[in-house]
Amino acid sequence: MKKKLARIKRSKKTRYILKRLQATRLVVYRSSKHIYAQIIDHTNKIIVSASTLEKSIKVKINYSGNKQSAAVIGTIIAYRANQNGIKKVSFDRSGFKYHGRIKELAEAARKNGLIF
């Protein structure tokens, strides 16, 4: 439980800073089976979202809890953001380490046009 509380504490600290800056943020959450990404503006309105639970994405991936699926989500979230005219975001990793699936999602999003 200490590990989860430490992650929540880190995420609150990051979100406080981003709220103060009124930044549009790319929020990433991962569970053991899935990965979720949302782009949220400074008024906490969800603009764009993508996750491994969507039927159109499930067809493209074998297993939803690995790096390849995270890269697919990063590509899709960047594409949807570009369609809505969003180029620059702040990366909110929800207290997770910048490693593994989180890193793959971020690199795929950067490669496909998001700037952060």
pLDDT tens-digit readout, 40-60: 999 999 999 999 999 999 998
Helices (H), 1-116: 2-21, 55-58, 67-83, 101-111
Q: Residue 47 is which amino acid?
A: I
What 3-state DSSP class applies to 115?
strand
CA torsion through residues 26, 51, 86, 22, sign: negative
Q: pTM value?
A: 0.92
State the architecture of 2-111 in CATH terms: 2-Layer Sandwich (3.30)
Other beta carbons less than 10 A from residue 68's beta carbon: 15
**Average pLDDT of every residue of the chain:** 95
The token pair at 8 is: 């929540």
